[in-house]
Amino acid sequence: MMTGKDRVPDVPPGGRPFVTRFAPSPSGYLHLGHAYAARFAWEAAHRSGGRFLLRIEDIDASRARPEFEQGICNDMVWLGLTWDGPLRRQSERLEAYAAALDYLDGQGVLYPCFCTRRQIRQEVAGAGQAPHGLDGEMVYPGICRHLSADERQHRIARGEAYAIRLDVEAALGRTGPLYWHDLKRGRTKAEPHLLGDVVLARKDTPTSYHLACTVDDAAMGVTLVTRGEDLFHSSHIHRLLQALLGLPVPLYYHHNLVADSRGQRMAKRNRAVSLKYLRDSRHTPDEIWRLLGLSEAGAATAICA
Ligand code: GLU
């Protein structure tokens, strides 16, 4: 099991205790990688005298299941990583996301996109670009960015399916260059064009990970966003959304990912590393921490020391 050394200072820059959060999606049981992420956020908050919050990211109704949400709570309590205040669910916050989307629309930085994935793939391949950009997602080549207002209205009125995309160039034109402070990497320039004109909502899903996460981190008063390196590039878009929506900018820390003994990342489909399976097969929380190379929760020499 490999984690590596991640550290957050005990005393936050500026002296205010950290408010952190763990934000899993209830689309499967938590695994050892989640235990590391949750423990990291919990410990950063606790060591600074701050608060640790739990948010269930359940906007994808086709994948979220109540038994997985229950599983998350069971695992967290079993590990001793209890959260402060009520548990929040994104499915209960759709109005807040709709209001943020309206606000962005008013700034002229959104456009409807009628492309299918296949069309996008063909366009990207035709232009000789790599089929996949960062995070394995295709960078949208901007096909629908310049449709006329009439054509947009006509196609929406005809009932065509569409996604709402963020016009990154127009947005950056409004905000100018942006930066965030990453406790691991230092001052970091936001480069949202690396992800391109991301989808912020769809006709039948009124929000997206990027929009909901940014709105909620601000609404919950999160001052330090901790998450895995695999989500590092999302922060480019989140920083841009914060600037457009006038939201405070938290600190960030993108921690190492837990790999198994073959160096592979943990996956929800791998039952053997699920916390439920480990608990059912009589492992103790201390064994989980030892597997992750950490001392028991609450001890002074843990990951954030
Ligand atoms: N819901 C995301 C996940 O489970 C994490 C989001 C975040 O920490 O920003 O991967």
Distance in Å, CA 230 to ligand 1 centroid: 10
Distance in Å, CA 25 to ligand 1 centroid: 7
Q: Residue 304 falls within a domain, yes or no? A: no
Distance in Å, CA 148 to ligand 1 centroid: 36
Distance in Å, CA 24 to ligand 1 centroid: 5
Q: Count CB-CB contacts under 10 A for residue 235.
A: 23
Q: Residue 282 falls within a domain, yes or no? A: yes
| Each residue's pLDDT tens digit, 164-179 | 999 999 999 999 999 9
Q: Looking at per-residue confidence, does 105 or 305 come out higher?
A: 105
Atom of ligand 1 nearest to the CA of 24: 4
Tell me the residue range of the domain where 168 lies: 19-291
- What CA–CA distance (Å, rounded) separates 69 from 52? 18
- What CA–CA distance (Å, rounded) separates 245 from 242? 5
Q: Residue 6 falls within a domain, yes or no? A: no
Mutate to test the pocket of ligand 1, among 227, 234, 238, 257 (most ligand atoms within 8 A of CB): 227
Residues with CB under 6 A from ligand 1: 23-25, 57, 213, 227, 231
Supply φ then ψ for residue 105, to 5 degrees: -60, -40
Q: Count CB-CB contacts under 10 A for residue 289.
A: 21
Which alpha helices (DSSP H) does the chain contain, by range? 32-47, 66-79, 94-106, 117-126, 149-157, 168-175, 209-219, 234-245, 275-280, 285-291
Q: Quick one: what percent of the chain has pLDDT higher than 70?
A: 92
Q: Which two tokens stand for residue 182?
A: 């990453």
Question: What pLDDT is recorded for position 300?
Answer: 33
Question: What pLDDT is recorded for position 131?
Answer: 58
| Positions marked catalytic | 268
Q: Residue 139 falls within a domain, yes or no? A: yes
Q: Quick one: what percent of the chain has pLDDT higher than 90?
A: 77
Atom of ligand 1 nearest to the CA of 230: 10
User: Which CATH number goes with the domain that contains 204?
Assistant: 3.40.50.620
DSSP-derived secondary structure letter, 204? S
Mutate to test the pocket of ligand 1, among 52, 53, 57 (most ligand atoms within 8 A of CB): 57
Q: Residue 302 falls within a domain, yes or no? A: no
- What CA–CA distance (Å, rounded) separates 255 from 232? 9
Mean pLDDT of 27-32: 95
Question: What pLDDT is recorded for position 4?
Answer: 57
Q: How many domains does the chain have?
A: 1
- What CA–CA distance (Å, rounded) separates 113 from 20? 35
Q: Residue 303 falls within a domain, yes or no? A: no
Question: 79, 275 in Cβ contact below 8 A?
Answer: yes
Atom of ligand 1 nearest to the CA of 37: 8
Q: Looking at per-residue confidence, does 243 or 11 come out higher?
A: 243
Average pLDDT, the chain: 91
Distance in Å, CA 21 to ligand 1 centroid: 10
Q: Residue 261 falls within a domain, yes or no? A: yes
Q: Residue 205 falls within a domain, yes or no? A: yes
Mutate to test the pocket of ligand 1, among 209, 214, 251 (most ligand atoms within 8 A of CB): 209
